[in-house]
Chain A
Amino acid sequence: MDETTVQVYSVLFVMATVLLVFTARFFQKRPGRRRAQRQLDGLERITGWTTQSIESNRPLHLSFGGAAIGGDKTPAALAEAELFHQVIKRANAGDIAPILSMSAPVMIPLGQDTLRRAWHKGDGASRVIWYPPNLAYAGAVTASMADDKPAAHIMAGGFGIELALMLDGADRQGHPSLAVSDRLDGQAVAYALADHVLIGEELFVASGAVSEEGRGRNDAAVLDVWRGLIILGATVFLLLEFSSQLPLLTWQLAAAGAAVLIALGAVMYRRR
Chain B
Amino acid sequence: MGRAGISAFVAFAVGLLTLLSLLLGDNPALFGGQPGSEVLAERLALPGDVLLRLVVIVVALSIVIGIANLLYVHVGRVARGKFYSAVLLASFAFTIYWYVTNRGDSSLLEAAQVPIESALASLLFFSLVYGGARVMRKRADIWGLLFVAVVIIVLLGSLPLAELAPVKAWSDWLMAVPVSAGARAILLGIALGTVVAGVRAMLGQDRSYRG
Residues in chain A within 8 A of chain B (CB atoms): 3-4, 7-8, 10-11, 13-14, 17-18, 21-22, 25, 68, 70, 72-76, 78-79, 81-82, 85, 104-106, 108-110, 113-114, 117, 125-126, 128-132, 135-136, 138-140, 143-144, 146-147, 161-162, 164-165, 167-168, 171, 182, 184, 187, 189, 191-193, 195, 199-201, 203-205, 216, 219, 222-223, 226-227, 230
Contact = CB atoms under 8 A, between A and B. Distances in A.
Contact of B201 (A78, A171, A226): A78
Contacts of B64: 105
Interface in B179-205: 183, 185-190, 192-201, 203, 205
8 tightest A-B CB contacts, nearest first: A105-B66, A204-B193, A200-B189, A201-B189, A75-B197, A193-B131, A201-B193, A168-B127
A192 B152 CA distance: 13
A164 B62 CA distance: 27
B30 A4 contact: yes
Given A129-B73, A136-B117, A191 B147 contact: yes
Given A135-B121, A167-B131, A7 B23 contact: yes
B130 interface: yes
A14 B131 contact: no
Contact of A129 (B69, B83, B151): B69
Given A21-B200, A75-B200, A204-B197, 7 more contacts: A11-B24, A75-B194, A113-B208, A144-B85, A165-B123, A192-B147, A204-B196
Main secondary structure of the interface of A (DSSP, over half): helix
B52 to A, nearest CB: 9
B132 interface: yes
A21 B72 contact: no
Contacts of B208: 78, 81-82, 85, 110, 113-114
Given A85-B207, A106-B62, A125-B72, A161 B128 contact: yes
A144 B193 CA distance: 32
B174 interface: no
B201 to A, nearest CB: 5
Contacts of A227: 189, 192
Main secondary structure of the interface of B (DSSP, over half): helix
A147 B207 contact: no
Contact of B186 (A81, A184, A204): A184
A216 B205 contact: yes
Contact of B58 (A8, A10, A70): A70
Interface string B111-154: 00000010011011001101110010010000000010001000
A43 B27 CA distance: 44
A105 B63 contact: yes
Specify which of B132, B185, B193, B207 lies most central, judged by the most chain A CB atoms within 10 Å of its CB.
B193
Given A130-B70, A135-B120, A200 B185 contact: yes
Given A108-B65, A167-B131, A25 B205 contact: yes
A182 B199 contact: no
A7 B120 contact: no
